[in-house]
Amino acid sequence: MIAAVSIAESFNHGRSDAPEKADVILMLGGGDGGRMVKAAELYHEGYSEYVVISPALDEYYTQSVQFALDLGIPEGAIIEELVATSTYTNATETMDIMEAHDFQSALVVTSDYHLKRSKLIYDRVNSNHYDDVFDFTYVAALSADGDPWYELSYATNIWFREYVKMWGYRLGLYHFIDIPDDGDAQV
């Protein structure tokens, strides 16, 4: 019974919140470029004046400052986070940046399949390390082609990876896999 409920629940990757004006847009790296496209769309619609790319990686165009510039986000609006290696370190590093810039609210932009795990860890880190000082709105990005995760040819692979990772995050295994160094945030 528990296994059946666990598997059934795993197909629900969370609902995107309606975007709200925020101090910053946090674009979590990964995916196929749909995340940056969504972050740029929100920026151009006036939801925030700043976009954090976490992590900003020149070797991956879809996570690069150049891609953000190509999408019309001005250089002065881009804040690079350079050390995150997981959703957990995305959370710790971007919250350090938010604290350093006196930002109180953020739109967290990630792929539709990654939304539930991102919300879990951002809410947990915010609560456990920052006394719930930050206000997050979670916005799902579709693939670069505009398709939801379950319509992609590799949807089974996405489901399985997220199922395993979600349980790892629920059990707190990220503490043993990816420990951020204090003071690593780029501001």
Which residues, including other chains, have CB under 8 Å from residue 9's CB and lie 6 or more apart?
none
Q: What is the pTM of this model?
A: 0.86
Rg (CA), the chain: 16
Encode pLDDT of 3-35 as tens digits: 554 555 555 556 788 999 999 999 999 989 999
Superfamily classification of domain 14-177: HUPs (3.40.50.620)
DSSP secondary structure code for residue 153 in this structure: T
CB distance 93 to 81 below 8 Å: yes
Encode pLDDT of 119-167 as tens digits: 999 999 999 999 999 999 999 999 999 999 888 898 898 888 888 888 8
- Strands laid side by side in the 105-111 sheet: 78-80, 51-54, 24-28, 105-111, 135-141
Kindly report the backbone phi and psi dihedral angles of residue 5, in degrees, each rounded to the nearest multiple of 5, phi listed first.
-65, -40
